[in-house]
């Protein structure tokens, strides 16, 4: 197969933990040809969407890990699969890219995850479709309603709807210290919608990443445990990643959501679960492949390539 990965610049990869790199290694090991391009390489030429695409080969070296040919303008339907792996922020440029990729689908391109599905599943707000699994939650820009929610629940988390890696997350305790500042900063004085949730104490045991591939549950999760007094378990915020078998509750959530999300066009999803509660549905570039594989021996990238090949 010819597989084109839509990625951030390759020089930004940290290959010791990058899940896209794990996918590439697995794909190359199976004899597939690898190509890359970024959102900025997409264009519509008056007839169809194309991209400036570069073929790459993997060297097996730690530092100079790839060789890249000069980009060539290609129609995306020339590839057996186009795998979207660009990190957030999910800004307007990301949305424009989903428009482009969705248009390419009309000319026969096979894009995973489907761009329309990515666009329809804000990674924070998507949990509102599964209210049986979520903690008390408020989504609003109304500053008074946020204050009322805090008064009711005492210990709360405030977060932007478009962040990643734990950026912009505030915990406000019962004393309400800095509540006003946090609300003003995150809502831009009532002009931006944010999410507020009751604090889940089990975060001290880890924010669990549960992976779904083609609606099927990966049997191990990665508990991202906050360090040094942090409230955020995200690896990007310094959390410690510990792989472990998924719990009964995590399996219950994952098995309920898996077939629904796959039917919507989401081949790969990362669910975030804290304690008994679903907190995020990650659809842009879910990670944790390498950490789970290194600690458990379960080949997550192999499972992903199995399902990608099956989808072809």
Predicted model pTM: 0.93
Outline which parts of the chain fall under CATH 3.30.470.20: 202-311
CA distances 265 to 97, 102, 117, 120, 191, Å, are 17, 12, 6, 11, 32
CA 239/CA 275 separation, integer angstroms:
16
| Tens of pLDDT, residues 119-136 | 999 999 999 999 999 999
pLDDT value at residue 200:
96
> What count of other Cβ atoms lies within 10 Å of the Cβ of residue 58?
16
Class of domain 202-311: alpha beta
| Tens of pLDDT, residues 217-231 | 999 999 998 766 565
CA 51/CA 272 separation, integer angstroms:
33
pLDDT value at residue 1:
95
Alpha-carbon 50 to chain mean position: 25
pLDDT value at residue 168:
87
pLDDT value at residue 226:
78
pLDDT value at residue 114:
98
Quickly tell me which residue has 């990729």 as its tokens: 101
226: which residues sit within 8 A by CB, 6+ positions away? 203, 204, 206, 207, 232, 233, 237, 238, 239
Ordered per-residue pLDDT tens for the chain, 312 residues: 999 999 999 999 999 999 999 999 999 999 999 999 999 999 999 999 999 999 999 999 999 999 999 999 999 999 999 999 999 889 999 999 999 999 999 999 999 999 999 999 999 999 999 999 999 999 999 999 999 999 999 999 999 998 776 778 999 999 999 999 999 999 999 999 999 999 999 998 889 999 999 999 999 999 998 766 565 555 555 678 999 999 999 999 999 999 999 999 999 999 999 999 999 999 999 999 999 999 999 999 999 999 999 998
DSSP state of 218: P
CA 72/CA 64 separation, integer angstroms:
22
Catalytic residues: 124, 159, 209, 224, 232, 272, 280, 282
pLDDT value at residue 230:
62
82: which residues sit within 8 A by CB, 6+ positions away? 3, 4, 6, 76, 101, 104, 109, 110, 111, 112
Which numeric CATH code is attached to 2-120? Answer: 3.40.50.20
Outline which parts of the chain fall under CATH 3.30.1490.20: 136-199
> What count of other Cβ atoms lies within 10 Å of the Cβ of residue 262?
20
SS3 track for 66-127: EEECCCEEEEHHHCCEEEECCCCCCCHHHHHHHHHHHHHHHCCCCEECCHHHHHHCCCCHHH
CA distances 125 to 175, 193, 195, 222, Å, are 27, 11, 8, 22
Which helix or strand (DSSP H or E) is residue 258 part of? Answer: helix 248-263
Q: Which CATH architecture has domain 136-199?
A: 2-Layer Sandwich (3.30)
214 Rama sector, left if φ>0, alpha if ψ -120 to 50, beta otherwise: left
């Amino acid at each position: 197969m010819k597989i084109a990965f839509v990625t951030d610049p390759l020089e930004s990869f940290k290959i010791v933990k990058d899940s896209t790199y794990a996918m590439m290694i697995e794909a190359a090991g199976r004899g597939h040809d690898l190509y890359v391009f970024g959102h900025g390489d997409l264009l519509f030429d008056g007839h169809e969407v194309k991209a400036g695409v570069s073929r790459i080969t993997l060297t097996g070296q730690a530092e100079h890990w790839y060789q890249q040919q000069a980009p060539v303008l290609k129609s995306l339907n020339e590839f057996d699969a186009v795998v979207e792996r660009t990190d957030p922020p999910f800004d307007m440029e990301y949305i424009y890219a989903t428009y482009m990729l969705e248009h390419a689908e009309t000319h026969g391109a096979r894009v995973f995850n489907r761009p329309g599905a990515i666009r329809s599943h804000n990674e924070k707000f998507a949990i509102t479709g599964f209210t049986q699994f979520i903690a008390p939650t408020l989504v609003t820009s109304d500053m008074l309603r946020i204050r009322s929610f805090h008064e009711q629940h005492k210990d709360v988390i405030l977060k932007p709807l478009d962040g990643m890696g734990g950026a912009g997350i505030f915990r406000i305790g019962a004393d309400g210290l800095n509540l006003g500042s946090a609300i003003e900063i995150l809502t831009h004085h009532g002009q931006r919608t944010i999410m507020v949730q009751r604090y889940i104490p089990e975060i001290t045991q880890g924010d669990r990443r549960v992976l779904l591939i083609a609606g099927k549950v990966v049997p191990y999760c990665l508990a991202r445990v906050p360090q040094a007094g942090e409230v955020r378990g995200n690896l990007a915020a310094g959390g410690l990643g510990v792989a472990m078998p998924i719990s009964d509750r995590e399996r219950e959530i994952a098995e309920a959501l898996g077939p629904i999300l796959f039917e919507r066009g989401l081949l790969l999803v990362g669910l975030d679960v804290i304690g008994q509660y679903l907190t995020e549905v990650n659809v842009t570039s879910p990670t944790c492949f390498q950490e789970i594989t290194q600690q458990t021996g379960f080949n997550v990238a192999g499972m992903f390539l199995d399902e990608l090949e099956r989808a072809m």
